[in-house]
Each structure stands twice: as C-alpha cells, then as structure tokens.
C-alpha cells in the first residue's frame, strides 16, 4: 500500500509538471507592432497631460507621438532607440520612469533607503523601551501602587 502511494505521488508530480510545461512552456510569440508601440508609448509621458502616458492619452500630441513610435518601429528601430529619440528632444523628463543613472539614481534608491531608515528608527525605539524598561516604570507608578493597595484592602474586607 505504502509503495503504491509513492507511485501515485510520482504520477501526480509528473502530471503537474506536464501541465505546467504545456501552460507556460509554449514558445513566446513575437509581439505585434501594435503591442510594441503600446509598450514604448506606456513608458513615455504625454507632454501636455497630467501624469498620463503617450499610450493612454487621448490628446492630439500624444496621438502624433504614437504615429512616430509606429513609424520608427516599422523602420526597425529598437524601443531603446525610440526612447532615446524622444529624450533627445524633450529631455529625461519625457520618461515616466527616471533613468537609473545620475540624479535618477536618487529616485530608485530613496524607497529602499527610507524603508531601511524606518526599520532602523523602529528598532532603535523598541531597543530604547527595552533598556529603560517600560514595565518597571509602570510598576513604580504611584497610581498603580494605590490601585493595588486598594484592591488588596477590598479583598481583605
């Protein structure tokens, strides 16, 4: 019986691996021109909108930029080259994600640094409480002493 269970487990494992291979192991299809254009457009800021990408904005300028992206993709230019084309004309500001270089590094480093700083602050606070002994301070409170004394008194009565 125990031996059979082992075989069942192996068959199940092979079945799961087989299904996973069928589901995720398919050769990835080459993205269409529209998909590539959308991918590039979603990384560029619409110059006249508030926080909207070129891919999502309904503005005429964003529409013209989408046409330019498709035109350059048809010419065989890579997404990186197309982004460089817009950066050369509008500056790094046109990129929705700042480049991880120069001052842009700061934007990428700030969240983990702030998280580490916050953890450090909480750790210092907790260690401080442990050192000073919050429980001892409570025990030394005259009000607590009085409550305890009164409780003891009432129990005696």
Interacting residues toward other proteins by CB under 8 A: 47-48, 60-61, 64-65, 67-68, 87-91, 93
Residue nearer to other proteins on the CB measure, 38 or 72: 72
Residue nearer to other proteins on the CB measure, 30 or 89: 89
DSSP annotation string for 86-152: HHHHH-GGGBSS--SSTTHHHHHHHHHHHHHHHHHHHHHHHHHHHHHTHHHHHHT-HHHHHHHHHHH
Give the shortest CB-77-to-other proteins separation in angstroms: 15
Residue nearer to other proteins on the CB measure, 9 or 122: 122
Residue nearer to other proteins on the CB measure, 48 or 139: 48
The C-alpha atoms of residue 53 and residue 40 are separated, in whole angstroms, by: 10
Give the shortest CB-22-to-other proteins separation in angstroms: 45
Give the shortest CB-60-to-other proteins separation in angstroms: 5
Q: Is the dihedral of CA 73, 75, 76, 79 positive or negative?
A: negative
Are the C-beta atoms of residues 53 and 63 closer than 8 Å to each other?
no
Give the shortest CB-121-to-other proteins separation in angstroms: 10
Residue with the two structure tokens 């409170």: 141
Residue nearer to other proteins on the CB measure, 38 or 70: 70
Give the shortest CB-137-to-other proteins separation in angstroms: 19
Bridge partners for 44 per DSSP = 95
The C-alpha atoms of residue 20 and residue 87 are separated, in whole angstroms, by: 41
């Amino acid at each position: 019986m125990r031996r059979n269970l082992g075989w069942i487990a192996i068959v199940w494992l092979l079945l799961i691996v087989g299904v996973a291979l069928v589901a995720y192991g398919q050769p990835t299809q080459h993205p269409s021109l529209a998909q590539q254009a959308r991918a590039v457009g979603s990384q560029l800021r619409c110059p006249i909108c508030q926080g909207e990408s070129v891919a999502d904005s309904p503005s005429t300028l964003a529409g013209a930029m989408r046409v330019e992206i498709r035109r350059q993709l048809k010419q065989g230019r890579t997404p990186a080259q197309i982004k460089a084309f817009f950066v050369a004309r509008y500056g790094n500001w046109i990129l929705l994600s700042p480049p991880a270089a120069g001052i842009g590094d700061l934007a990428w480093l700030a969240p983990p640094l702030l998280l580490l700083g916050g953890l450090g602050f909480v750790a210092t606070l907790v260690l401080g409480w442990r050192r000073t002994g919050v429980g001892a301070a409570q025990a030394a409170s005259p009000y607590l002493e009085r409550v305890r004394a009164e409780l003891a008194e009432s129990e005696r009565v």
